[in-house]
Amino acid sequence: MARTSFNKGNEYMADISKLRIDRTVDEEKKSSGLLKGVIFVLILVALIATGYFLYKGPLKPATKVELTTATLVYPSQATSVLNASGYVVAQRKAEVASKATGRLVVLNVEEGTIVKKGQVIGQLQSNDVEASLAQAKADLQVTIASLAEAKANHERRKKLVDEKILSPSDYDIADAQYKRGLATVDSAQAKIQQLQVDLENTYIRAPFDGTVLTKNADVGEIVAPLGSAGNSKGSVVSMADMGSLQVEADVSESNLERVKVGQPCEITLDAFPEKRYRGAVHMIVPTADRAKATVMTKVKFVDRDERVLPEMSAKVTFLSEEISESQIKAKPKLTVSPGAVVERNQRKVVYVVKEDRAEERPVTTGGMVGGVVEVTQGLTSGEQVILNPPEDLKSGAKVKTAQ
């Protein structure tokens, strides 16, 4: 019995000796929790950094700014008081037509031909008039011969009457024949004059010195005075005196007080924007356009070249003082509003807007041109820059135009 008990005790002690605290599970749990904490902190830091980056970058609210444009300005524009647009118009122009109706057989001009007053532009068919004129001249010669015979008879009978050889009644007959001969000669001469006028009317002549603008009829076509016939051409050519070219510009009624006759102007043509012409106000038309609330102003050219043509669109700058020939030939200067140029880190800069972002650009400036400042380096014409940029504006910042 005792032996059996001892054995049981040994087995019990053996079982107790196998009991141990497994600390590896706690270490694993502790390590897992620490790792999760680190990951959480890293994720939190990443989210904060991402949010900060987005706020400072793509998601940062755009700065509202006002924009201005770098433009080319001529020195004469420093004295500009008003701008207007209009067209070049010839003040002396004409639609040249024939005085008679007939077929056009000669046309001596084309577009661009320079003609003098009285120069033959074209001629109508005149065979019938020439034949009638030749016949009238021949009839005149016969009439003159008859008149000579009647005159001789008249003088002879008058002498016989004076000598009492012939009765006065016989003289009266001779006198009547002579007077009738005189009247016949006068009538023949008048007819010749009329036919000469008819022949002259077959010639189409230039009414003044000028340039042919358009040709409206061709040889072989029927022409008539002012197109009186239904299927005939009225105007053979249109022409203008290029020396009478002026710019007709509309000036708003509210700005009319800035314009006066004789005021110096600068004229530019849309066709040749690099070329400028001196001008002066020739006339302020004494009536207004009710629909547009404008008054037409005619500006004459002080100096003009052959490139100026009728109906060209033009711009007129009304000036406060006359400009010289050297000023009119001066090259334009690149300018910008003075408020766009600021000082950063002891240098002059502007902020150019590109793709809704501000780009800091160092510039070199010159003198003032009127109310704007010249930029000699750092900008190009047409670039948009920020006007009065905020002090905290950085290059690359997102911007939007203030409404």
Q: Is residue 17 in some structural domain?
A: no
pLDDT tens digit string along 72-101? 888 777 788 999 999 999 999 999 999 999
Which of 10-24, 55-69, 223-237, 260-274 is modeled with the greatest confidence? 260-274
Q: Is residue 35 in some structural domain?
A: no
Q: Is residue 222 in some structural domain?
A: yes
Model confidence at 2, pLDDT cuts 50, 70, 90, reads very low
pLDDT at 8 over 70: no
Question: pLDDT above 70 covers what percent of the chain?
Answer: 85
With 0-12 / 13-18 / 19 or more C-beta atoms within 10 angstroms meaning exposed / middle / buried, residue 15 is exposed
Which of 280, 308, 329 is where one domain is finished? Answer: 329
In DSSP terms, 333 is beta-bridged to 73
pLDDT at 54 over 60: no
Q: Does residue 263 share a domain with residue 379? A: no
**The pLDDT of residue 279:** 95
- Look up tokens 């755009």; give the residue: 62
Mean pLDDT of 169-189: 86
Average pLDDT score over the chain: 85
> Using an 8 Å Cβ cutoff, are 262 and 302 in contact?
no
Compute φ and ψ for 158, nearest 5 degrees: -65, -40
Q: Does residue 211 share a domain with residue 117? A: yes
Residues 6+ apart with CB under 8 A from 205: 118, 119, 120, 121
Q: Is residue 395 in some structural domain?
A: yes
Closest C-alpha among 95, 98, 101, 102 to residue 220? 102
Q: Does residue 148 share a domain with residue 258? A: no
Residues 6+ apart with CB under 8 A from 123: 104, 105, 106, 202, 203, 204
Compute φ and ψ for 399, nearest 5 degrees: -135, 160
Closest C-alpha among 89, 132, 96 to residue 113? 96
Domain that holds residue 155: 126-201
> Using an 8 Å Cβ cutoff, are 100 and 198 in contact?
yes
Closest C-alpha among 223, 210, 208 to residue 97? 223
Q: Does residue 233 share a domain with residue 192? A: no
Which of 228-237, 271-280, 323-332 is modeled with the greatest confidence? 271-280
pLDDT at 167 over 60: yes
> Using an 8 Å Cβ cutoff, are 264 and 277 in contact?
no
Tally of residues, the chain: 403
Alpha carbon distances (Å) from 377 to 223, 336, 342, 374:
64, 12, 15, 9
CATH code of the domain in which 343 resides = 2.40.420.20
Q: Does residue 314 share a domain with residue 195? A: no
- Residues 223 and 238: their CA atoms lie apart, in Å, by 14
Model confidence at 1, pLDDT cuts 50, 70, 90, reads very low
- Residues 351 and 398: their CA atoms lie apart, in Å, by 12
Which tokens is 8 given? 């049981």
Count: domains in the chain:
4
Residues 6+ apart with CB under 8 A from 6: none
Closest C-alpha among 229, 132, 145 to residue 184? 145
Question: pLDDT above 90 covers what percent of the chain?
Answer: 55
Which of 201, 224, 252 is where one domain is finished? Answer: 201
Which tokens is 14 given? 């053996």
Q: Is residue 319 in some structural domain?
A: yes
- Look up tokens 């009119």; give the residue: 328
Q: Does residue 264 share a domain with residue 213? A: no
**The pLDDT of residue 15:** 55
Is pTM, for the whole model, over 0.75? no
Alpha carbon distances (Å) from 201 to 100, 132, 264:
6, 14, 46
317: amino acid identity, one letter: T
- Give the H/E segment covering residue 283: strand 272-289
- Residues 226 and 96: their CA atoms lie apart, in Å, by 9
- Residues 209 and 203: their CA atoms lie apart, in Å, by 17
Model confidence at 31, pLDDT cuts 50, 70, 90, reads low
Which tokens is 379 given? 């900008």
Model confidence at 6, pLDDT cuts 50, 70, 90, reads very low
Which of 271, 295, 329 is where one domain is finished? Answer: 329
Residues 6+ apart with CB under 8 A from 214: 111, 237, 238
pLDDT tens digit string along 294-341? 999 999 999 889 999 999 999 999 999 888 877 777 788 899 999 999
Which of 64-73, 150-159, 270-279, 291-300 is modeled with the greatest confidence? 291-300
CATH code of the domain in which 314 resides = 2.40.30.170
- Residues 258 and 264: their CA atoms lie apart, in Å, by 12
In DSSP terms, 249 is beta-bridged to 86, 297
Q: Does residue 114 share a domain with residue 216? A: yes
pLDDT tens digit string along 374-385? 999 999 999 999
**The pLDDT of residue 73:** 83
**The pLDDT of residue 135:** 95
Q: Does residue 349 share a domain with residue 217? A: no
Q: Does residue 100 share a domain with residue 213? A: yes
Q: Is residue 8 in some structural domain?
A: no
Which of 13-22, 42-51, 171-180, 310-319 is modeled with the greatest confidence? 310-319
Mean pLDDT of 266-285: 93
- Residues 116 and 365: their CA atoms lie apart, in Å, by 55
Give the CA dihedral 7, 12, 13, 16, nearest 10 degrees: 160
Q: Is residue 3 in some structural domain?
A: no
**The pLDDT of residue 94:** 94
Model confidence at 237, pLDDT cuts 50, 70, 90, reads very high
Closest C-alpha among 301, 320, 315, 304 to residue 263? 320
- Residues 304 and 281: their CA atoms lie apart, in Å, by 15
Q: Does residue 137 share a domain with residue 84? A: no
Q: Does residue 222 share a domain with residue 101? A: yes
At 134 the three-state DSSP class reads: helix
Q: Does residue 260 share a domain with residue 140? A: no
Compute φ and ψ for 148, nearest 5 degrees: -60, -40
386: amino acid identity, one letter: I
CATH code of the domain in which 213 resides = 2.40.50.100
- Look up tokens 């102003």; give the residue: 297
Q: Is residue 362 in some structural domain?
A: yes
Model confidence at 199, pLDDT cuts 50, 70, 90, reads very high
276: amino acid identity, one letter: R
